Each structure stands twice: as C-alpha cells, then as structure tokens.
Structure 1
Amino acid sequence: MKNNTLMRFFTMLGPPAWRYAGPEAWAALEEEMGVALPADYECIIDGYGPVELNGPLSLGHPTTGRSNLAEQTRSTAQAWSGAPWEDVELESNQRLSPEILNIRFGTPDGLIHAVSENRSVVWAGQGDVSRGWWLPRLARQSR
C-alpha cells in the first residue's frame, strides 16, 4: 500500500501511466551513484516520467533515451561541480549544511539531480541518514 503523501500526489496528477517502469534501470543508476534512492521518488518517476509538468518542471526516467535520468544526473553533477559559487543562489533550506562550499554533486554523500525546473535543479541529498532525504533547490542567476 502506498503512503498518504504518495497517494495525494497521484490524486493531484491523475492516474499514473507506468509506461517505463524498470527495476533494472533503477538498480544500475543506484549502483552508479552508490546510493539507494527513495522508493517514493522511484514510484513517481516510474508512474509519470519522462514528462514535463505544467511547462517548467521536468521529470526524467532512467529507462528512456529522451530525458534519461541517468544522463541528466551525470551531466548536471559535472556542470554544477564546476559552477562558480558566486553565481549560485541558494534558496533557504533549514537542513542544508552551512558549509555550502564543500557540497559535492553526484556522489553518495553529495547532492543528486532529482528534477529540473526552468533554469534551476532540485537536488536530493541524503546527508544525515537519520533525518532522511532533503531537497535543496539551486538556481543559476541570469547575468
């Protein structure tokens, strides 16, 4: 049985299509990243991805060629690892470590690409396992 939060999400978006559900792709992605992703996240992506929601919000999927989540994760982590931090806007997140300059991308103890939104990325970070996953949103500022 799915939890209440997940069921509310499904109710809001309508019945999931389950077009690309693929446990093997998730296992390969998690092995590559060195971390198990939240089951609810995988369920949402399997149910709806790849898709653009309401225009700017994009959900990739690890089994597809278009909007491939594994490729998005690798390329986004590489791009953000080299980002000049003075160009990065960090939205307030009480659980984000104050040592922002030490944040890593695409590693088990770092931030992993979750979804894309316009010119920003919503990341998932496991951090302190006892507190669960957290979702900081980092945005590139336009010059």
Structure 2
Amino acid sequence: MVGLKRCIVALLSVVYLTFHADAANNFCATAIDKQLCEKMVKGAPNWNQAITNAITEAQSELAKTSKSGNPNCQEAYKDTEDKLKESMETAKKGNEDGKLNFQLSAALTSLEDCTNALKDLKEDASAATTLNHGVEQAIRICLAVDTSKSSA
C-alpha cells in the first residue's frame, strides 16, 4: 500500500510539472545556451511575446556590435538589421506564412558575410568573429524560440 501511495505521489508530481513548467523552458528546449535563452524570453507568457523579446534582444546586440565593428562589415550589419526587422514583422503576424525560420537564418548568414568579407580582404577576422559572437548567439536563440512554436 505504501508503494502504491508513492507511485501516485510521483505520478501527480510529474503531471503537475508537465502542466506547470516554466514557459521559458519550453521556448528554449532546443537552444544551445539555455541560460541565455531563458534570460532573453523571461516573463513571456506565450510564443508571440517570447519571439518578440528574443528578436528585440538580437537587434540590441546587433546595434552594439555595428557601432564598434569593422567598417568593412557595415554592409553585412545593415543586411542583418534588415533581416531582423523582417523577422520582427513576420513574428508580429504570428508567423502565419512560416517564413520566420528562413528570415532568421538569412540574418545569421548576413552576419557571417562580415567574417567572410574580412577573410577575402586578407584582414584578421578574429576580432570580428569575437565581436559578432553575441549577435550570432542571440539569432540562434531566436531560431530556437521559433522552433518551439512548431513543436508545441
């Protein structure tokens, strides 16, 4: 009888945790840096708010990076900024057309164009790679949050 009670208590605990889990954990299930993801979507009650928070953070990281970044990367930063703006517009419409993943991936590719441009110019790309890391991580978090909608 004691064993049965323990099983019931354990089962109820699992059910409770399943239905009352922190929403950020669900939004960040596929994120590589779960701690950063949870910080970026903190307080979001639903996917729309979580993705809006994440894209806003990515835009903020990009703004900081583009101010101090290599002048040869400005075009790549502008392209990344445009892609993030498009992503925000798509997210605000609830990603009804399913374009958000493509747009976020394009933003990430635009950012990588900076490093590639520096390598083509035979410049040291390590500083740009380090500088771009925060933006890259933020965009990857956006991709993880986007994925959480389709897996929900």
Of Structure 1 and Structure 2, which has the larger fraction of its residues in strand?
1
Larger radius of gyration: 2
Task: Give the TM-score normalised by structure 2.
Answer: 0.28
Please report the TM-score for the alignment, with normalisation by the length of structure 1.
Answer: 0.29
Higher helix share: 2
